[in-house]
Structure 1
């Protein structure tokens, strides 16, 4: 599903995950909240965590202490030099809805942008896996864009949820 509420520079898609074994193992464990997980990345051997993984997990623990946040060990940590926000792949447990997670990301980015130079706007890159209970499938949400595009996405999800009732 591609959302067409964006400019050409933003992208948002939700796809059904074919190989959902790792995510299903997470759901069947006793973990709740968010699992930050390393992934394969082009040109890198082993599994890597995206650059904002550490800062984002610290921010979540500080600002949402009631939310369980686990970080899976990685072989390497990716380092990119830009003003973009490269958030790690996360698995969302059944107690964390995708719109809630996207709002957390928005708040994190706003906090980080407080120290940015005037006019500097980083792009957000993120992926989250979650279970769509209505369809009974695991989906991966992928977003690349700016904060305004992320806000539009959150509103679109809220509108879809409202329309489903």
Structure 2
């Protein structure tokens, strides 16, 4: 794992995507476990949309770290058709569909938001996820990271 000094949260890279019924913010961040070095991660925040207003106070937040970030990259790069990220009370599913990636978030019973990510937004999400994954990696060679992702995708049985 590379050791990286985390940037101030306001300076972290972000990708924002807006659908007709929901919005997504993907934000570069770090996980710091007790006594450990910071690990590059990605926060996914999905919130409902009411007209022109995004209700961020009702957002569902999931942090993707060491186990989840490679799967997100695999879906964005086309190595996997779908991945699910589950926590005890919430989850996010991301799935490749013709011409887009479809993202759905749920929390508790009855709370769910979803939005399609067209090609341009899928590209930006994939690029940010891959940049964070590279920070987690022990190698700086992008080709090795891509080869490792293909190998990881072959192991996934979601």
- Alignment TM class, shorter chain as reference: under 0.3
TM-score by length of 1: 0.26
Which of structures 1 and 2 has the larger relative contact order (alpha carbons within 8 angstroms, sep 6+)?
1
Please identify which structure carries the higher strand content.
2
